[in-house]
Amino acid sequence: MDESAVIQFKNNFGRVRAEVGKVIVGHQDIVDGVLICLLSGGHALLEGVPGLGKTLLVRTLAEVLDLTFNRVQFTPDLMPADITGTNILMENAEGRKIFQFQRGPVFAQIVLADEINRATPKTQSAMLEAMQEHAVTVAGVQHRLEEPFFVLATQNPIEMEGTYPLPEAQMDRFLFKLIVPSPTLAELSAILDRTTGTETPTVNKVLTGPEVMMMRQVAREVPVASHVREYAVRIILATHPRSETAPDITNQFVRFGASPRGAQALIKAAKIRALLDGRYNVAFDDISAVAPAALRHRIILNFEGEAEGIGTDAVIREILNKLTAQIARVQA
């Protein structure tokens, strides 16, 4: 790989992180996770209680990047056409009636799907094609979305009344599911200083769309050794009950494991983590570090797992511990 491209990648990542940090207090792992999703060509789902700065983070990121931005507030009465757009009857210069496509808010490079689980499944599915194909089809005509295209969705895990849980097919479209924690004492004090004082933090644009696309290309060029790729595959297989690598916790509490998209997410994200560490190859630690965010929304617990309150993070942690122990025995 070109060493200068790797250095430039790391510098650009640091510049974006620093600008976002002018507004967002703490949440360093969340900011890094969102940026990894953007540079991997994936999408991110942020889950946390109201007031933790999820929407502010997305808005700040849009300000730091020279990309078009739209916000969609998902509600039960939102219709698919409200997202994708629709054909409207217009009159041309000759006085003839013609149908003209009116673009919806999904036609932006960064789309904030705020409280996505408040919309009906029919409306949620309107995002599927856009997220996967980077295009929308209206009245049989496909309309391409401008690259880079990035969806950041938020959802509230507590207030479930009047919400519609995301179907597994749509959850699988998100590269990462990031859990936004509550701030610490020091972070909360800093938040109050920034939001209740006389000075309002401002950010500068530091990256353009072509630069983001170039960084994506650099990330894809990071090599992955066969044994590291096999490690990622073993993690995915271990999420499936009754597979030969599955630990006891998987066999007892998991109904369905991660899809091949989970393996893709592990490799893509691990490549970026390696670059940020100044390395030109992916290590076991890179795969392990991104596994919780990449897999927690791709593992479906059975009834016993839900009744026992077993979280998918606990399953992933047990899988990583088992595989790490196996690798240590082989190397010894």
For 43-67, how does the pLDDT look when each residue is reduced to its tens digit (9 = 90+)?
999 888 777 677 788 888 888 888 8
Cα dist. 277→2, 188, 324 in Å?
Answer: 16, 29, 21
Say what percent of the chain tops pLDDT 90.
22
Domain boundaries for CATH 1.10.8.80 within the chain: 223-331
Give per-residue pLDDT as tens, 216-247: 998 998 899 999 999 999 999 999 998 888 88
Give per-residue pLDDT as tens, 112-128: 988 888 888 888 888 87
Q: Which fold has domain 3-80+106-214?
A: Rossmann fold (3.40.50)
Quick one: pLDDT at residue 287?
A: 93
Structural tokens at position 156 = 């509230």
Give burial (CB, 10 Å; 0-12/13-18/19+) of 53.
Answer: buried
Q: How confident is the model at residue 77 (pLDDT cuts 50, 70, 90)?
A: confident
Domain boundaries for CATH 3.40.50.300 within the chain: 3-80+106-214
> Residue 176 — φ and ψ, nearest 5°?
-125, 145
Q: Mean pLDDT, the chain, as a whole number?
A: 85
The strand pairing partners of 256, in sequence order, are 300
Q: Between 3.40.50.12500, 3.40.190.10, 3.30.1540.10, 1.10.8.80, what CATH number should domain 223-331 receive? A: 1.10.8.80
Quick one: pLDDT at residue 202?
A: 78
